């Protein structure tokens, strides 16, 4: 795959920056190594699209239970409450804490959805619309990479609550099954982001040429 | 870019690339990640979607305290579901509460399950549901045992007092008056609480109360077919010949009322009563433990006298034996005689007659108590009002055999026996006294007084006329008396005095006579021993014996 129609002449090492001449390899079991640091050299990450698709798919699947199941179970004086993500945001909104509600919405709904959608879009365009808005796609990728970790906000909040709010029968909080799914979604989107290789966007563009 | 110590060729020469064998890494393994994700998500969704229990709807009068998404459904304080929606029924009469049951609680959605809202309640039986003050109301459940599933229920407005499966038994009491009893009132046996009152209904058809009591296990076996229940509320105070008796149950029952029961030990073997047996609820212990009255025979009596002092509840007394109670006392009008007879309706309990009753029934060949009464009336039985208490003037009805013209007892349409009456002792006495008074008033006391005065006047006149002769006569009498006294004095001197000659002579004569009689006695003694002396004379004295 990497040794496609128009092979590059040189390969830069991602680890130490040494540039080596690219070698055309016919045997798929052989890889080229950086002669200085031993890092594997490739024009793009191997199987990047396949991995991205797998992680994005897994994240998308787990996103359903993450929203459907309660992320937190609180007990206040014999009253047991289960909170889902959207339910919690709704409650916050009804309580008048619009700002907080928006923050939670962005962090726990908008960002994961955006990431899944963007990564899906990027992976799809590599194959099917390779020439479409390459610069914007590259920027989109950088945005996704930057914003990714903030989705763990919810997980942190719940884990902190569960750890601190322990007043026996009066009040307690514990993570629900939805939280595990949600954390898995966040981790999987991060893995997908990491798997995707932005160089794929520019694969068949000659050096110095803009689209 | 290239470091000076680098062994690689000159900067313009690119380093020789190294080709190595890649680590064996099958790229398709990455597809395990989405596969696992799908599996996890599917299992989670399956657990939450397919493993949730049925959704049921419960109707309540009001949704007071019930909140969608918050209110729980609990069974024995275990959460088995949650209210997910509260809505008005279409006709706006009632509230429909939608409950999502847990999967483990699917068995609860059966026909005979009951639901009610648990709120804090304060009643005579105690305080309940206090926990809901903090947690808010919840919906309580009593699990049904039916196998037919159901999804629409009608909730109870108050918690049931007996939960299914609670060990114990329910008994039914029929009462004429609820007294201070209420749901939750305790049931006592030997002053120990063994159960509670779980409900009562007013039976409009029979005009009496049906009270249900729950006796907790293992006490139901104490309730036997002979048991008597009574209302143990308050203080039972009895003052009789044996003194003052105060009978109470516990303080709680004094305040809140209660039911007590006891099995009289009259020798008959008592078997435990089956559940839902019906008993009578008596007003007090005394009437409860009295022998059963059996069915009442209504009596009607018409009295032609004032019945002041005769109250409903007064005794019907047959020769001193209490056999019944007066039910009503009402005024009647007899247009023919233009009189107001008093109609007294009473109940008598023939079973109180005891063994006599069966003998009487045999007499009338089993024709019934009314026939017995008719026969007794033919033999002279009459109803009569008598004074029971002289201080209060209370009356009772006595059935007694009173001589008089023969009369018959008729049986009214309603089965009551109309008993002929006899005027009461008091009312009989009244006309006689009146007659006497009348006769007394007819005596001409004035005339008698006048006559008496004239008689007395003439008497005093006669006495005045008689007085001079009387004085003379009196002087004569005095003289005669003086003379008599002198005579008596001389007599006394001559005879009665010890120194009088008559007295002395007499004494000497008597002494002489005494000596004579002694000599005669000596002679006769001697002759007795020596009769020969009559012929030979007295022999010489025997010589004095020599020593």
Paired sense of beta strands B72-75 and B138-142, if any: parallel
Q: What is the DSSP string of A107-126?
A: IIIIHHHHHHHHHHHHHHHH
CB contact under 8 A, A55 and B34: yes
Domain positions in chain A: 1-43, 47-202
Do the beta carbons of residue A131 and residue A201 sit within 8 Å? no
Residue B234 binned pLDDT confidence (cut-offs 50, 70, 90): low
What average pLDDT score do residues A127-148 get?
Answer: 85
CA A177 vs. chain centroid, Å, equals 21
> How high is the mean pLDDT of chain A?
81
The distance of A62 to chain B (nearest Cα, Å) reads: 5
Nearest to B89 by CA among B78, B97, B80: B97
What average pLDDT score do residues B506-519 get?
Answer: 93
User: Which residues make beta-bridge pairs with B406?
Assistant: none
User: Which residues of chain B lie closer than 8 angstroms to A21, CB-CB?
Assistant: 14, 17
CA B546 vs. chain centroid, Å, equals 114
Looking at per-residue pLDDT, the higher value among A209 and B415 belongs to: B415
Side by side, the strands of the sheet bearing B55-60 are B114-118, B138-142, B72-75, B78-88, B95-101, B55-60, B152-154
Nearest to B384 by CA among B336, B335, B428, B446: B428
CB contact under 8 A, B15 and A35: yes
Paired sense of beta strands B297-303 and B417-419, if any: parallel
As given in the structure block, the two tokens for residue B445 are: 């006391």
pLDDT of residue A5: 46
pLDDT of residue B513: 94
CB contact under 8 A, A177 and B19: no
pLDDT of residue B3: 44
Looking at per-residue pLDDT, the higher value among B354 and A36 belongs to: A36
pLDDT in tens, A165-203: 777 667 788 888 888 888 888 888 888 888 888 888 887
pLDDT in tens, B214-226: 998 888 888 888 8
As given in the structure block, the two tokens for residue B531 are: 């009769």
Task: Give whole-number Cα distances, A194 to A55, A115, A128, A198, in Å.
Answer: 10, 12, 21, 10
In this model, does residue B398 exceed pLDDT 90? no
* ipTM of predicted complex: 0.75
Nearest to A52 by CA among A60, A42, A41: A60
Residue of B nearest to A91 (CA): B69
User: Which residues of chain A lie closer than 8 angstroms to B72, CB-CB?
Assistant: 79-80
CB contact under 8 A, B2 and A18: yes
What's the maximum distance between 2 C-alpha atoms anywhere in chain A?
A: 70
Residue B90 binned pLDDT confidence (cut-offs 50, 70, 90): confident
CB contact under 8 A, A68 and B45: yes
Which residue out of B10, B30, B42 would a mutagenesis test of the A interface target, given it has the greatest number of A Cβ atoms within 10 Å? Answer: B30
Lowest mean pLDDT among B157-161, B376-380, B524-528: B157-161
Residue of A nearest to B68 (CA): A81
Measure CB to CB from residue A23 to each of B17, B31, B79 and give the nearest one.
Answer: B17
CB contact under 8 A, A61 and B38: yes
Task: Tell me the range of B16-25, B247-256, B493-502, B505-514 where mean pLDDT is highest.
Answer: B505-514
Distance CA B357, CA B318 (A): 13
User: Which residues of chain A lie closer than 8 angstroms to B28, CB-CB?
Assistant: 50
| Integer-rounded Cα radius of gyration of chain A | 22
User: Which residues of chain A lie closer than 8 angstroms to B70, CB-CB?
Assistant: 79, 81
User: Which residues make beta-bridge pairs with B280?
Assistant: B174
As given in the structure block, the two tokens for residue A160 are: 């902190």
Name the interface residues of A facing B (CB cutoff 8 Å): 10-11, 17-23, 25, 29-36, 40-41, 46-47, 50-51, 54-55, 57-59, 61-62, 64-65, 68-69, 77-81, 177, 181, 184, 188, 191
Distance CA A21, CA B14 (A): 7
The distance of B19 to chain A (nearest Cα, Å) reads: 5
Angle B97-B103-B109 from CA coordinates, rounded to 5°: 50
């Amino acid at each position: 795959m990497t040794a496609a129609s128009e092979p590059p002449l040189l390969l830069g090492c991602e680890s130490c920056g040494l540039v080596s001449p690219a070698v055309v390899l016919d045997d798929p079991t052989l890889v080229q190594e950086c002669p200085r640091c031993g890092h594997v050299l490739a024009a793009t990450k191997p199987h990047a699209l396949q991995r991205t698709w797998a992680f994005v798919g897994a994240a998308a699947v787990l996103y359903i239970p993450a929203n459907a199941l309660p992320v937190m179970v609180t007990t206040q004086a014999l009253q047991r409450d289960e909170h889902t993500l959207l339910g919690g945001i709704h409650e916050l909104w009804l309580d008048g804490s619009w700002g907080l509600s928006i923050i939670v919405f962005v962090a726990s709904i908008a960002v994961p959805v955006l990431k899944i959608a963007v990564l899906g879009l990027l992976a799809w365009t590599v194959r099917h619309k390779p020439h479409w808005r390459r610069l914007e796609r590259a920027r989109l990728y950088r945005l996704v990479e930057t914003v990714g970790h903030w989705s763990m906000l919810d997980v942190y909040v719940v884990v902190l609550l569960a750890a601190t709010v322990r007043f026996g029968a009066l009040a307690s909080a514990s993570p629900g099954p939805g939280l595990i799914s949600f954390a898995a979604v966040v981790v999987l989107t991060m893995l997908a982001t990491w798997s995707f290789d932005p160089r794929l966007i520019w694969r068949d563009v000659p050096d110095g040429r803009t689209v | 870019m290239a470091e000076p110590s680098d062994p690689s060729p000159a900067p313009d020469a690119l380093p020789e690339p190294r080709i190595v064998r890649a680590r064996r890494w099958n790229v398709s393994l990455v597809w395990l990640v989405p596969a696992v994700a799908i599996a996890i998500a599917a299992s989670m969704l399956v657990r939450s979607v397919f493993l949730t229990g049925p959704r049921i709807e419960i109707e309540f009068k009001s949704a007071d305290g019930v909140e969608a998404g918050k209110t729980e459904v609990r069974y024995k304080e275990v959460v088995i579901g949650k209210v997910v929606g509260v809505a008005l029924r279409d006709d706006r009469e009632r509230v429909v509460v939608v409950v999502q049951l847990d999967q483990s609680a699917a068995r609860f959605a059966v026909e005979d399950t009951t639901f009610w809202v648990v709120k804090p309640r304060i009643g005579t039986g105690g305080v309940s549901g206090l926990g809901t003050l903090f947690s808010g109301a919840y919906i309580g459940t009593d699990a049904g045992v039916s196998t037919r599933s159901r999804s629409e229920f009608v909730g109870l407005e108050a918690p049931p007092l007996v939960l299914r499966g609670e060990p114990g038994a329910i008994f039914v009491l029929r009462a004429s008056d609820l007294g201070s009893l209420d749901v939750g009132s305790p049931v006592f046996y030997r002053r120990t609480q063994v159960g509670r009152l779980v409900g009562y209904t007013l039976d409009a058809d029979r005009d009496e109360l049906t009270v249900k009591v729950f006796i907790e296990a293992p006490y139901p076996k104490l309730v036997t077919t002979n048991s008597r229940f009574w209302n143990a509320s308050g203080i039972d105070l009895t003052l009789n010949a044996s003194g003052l008796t105060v009978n109470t149950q516990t303080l709680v029952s004094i305040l809140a009322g209660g039911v007590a029961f006891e099995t009289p030990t009259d020798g008959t073997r008592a078997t435990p009563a089956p559940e839902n047996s019906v008993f009578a609820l008596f007003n007090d212990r005394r009437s409860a433990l009295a022998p059963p009255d059996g069915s009442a025979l209504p009596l009607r009596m018409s009295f032609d006298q004032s019945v002041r002092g005769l109250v409903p509840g007064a005794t019907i007394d047959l020769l001193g034996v209490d056999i019944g109670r007066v039910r009503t006392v009402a005024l009647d009008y007899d247009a023919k005689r233009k009189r107001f007879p008093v109609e007294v309706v009473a109940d008598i309990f023939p079973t109180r007659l005891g063994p006599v009753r069966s003998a009487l029934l045999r007499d009338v060949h089993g024709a019934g108590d009314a026939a017995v009464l008719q026969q007794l009336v033919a033999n002279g039985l009459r109803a009569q009002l008598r004074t029971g208490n002289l201080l209060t003037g209370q009356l009772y009805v006595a059935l007694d055999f009173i001589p008089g013209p023969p009369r018959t007892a008729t049986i009214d349409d309603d089965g009551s026996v109309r008993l002929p009456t006899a005027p009461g002792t008091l009312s009989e006495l009244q006309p006689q006294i009146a007659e006497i008074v009348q006769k007394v008033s007819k005596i001409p006391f004035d005339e008698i007084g006048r006559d008496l005065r004239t008689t007395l006047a003439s008497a005093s006149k006669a006495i005045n006329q008689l007085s001079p002769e009387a004085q003379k006569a009196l002087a004569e009498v005095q003289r005669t008396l003086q003379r008599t006294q002198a005579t008596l004095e001389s007599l006394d001197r001559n005879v009665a005095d010890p120194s009088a000659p008559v007295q002395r002579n007499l004494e000497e004569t008597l002494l002489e006579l005494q000596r004579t009689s002694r000599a005669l006695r000596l002679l006769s003694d001697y002759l007795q021993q020596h009769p020969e002396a009559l012929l030979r004379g007295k022999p010489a004295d025997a010589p004095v014996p020599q020593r």
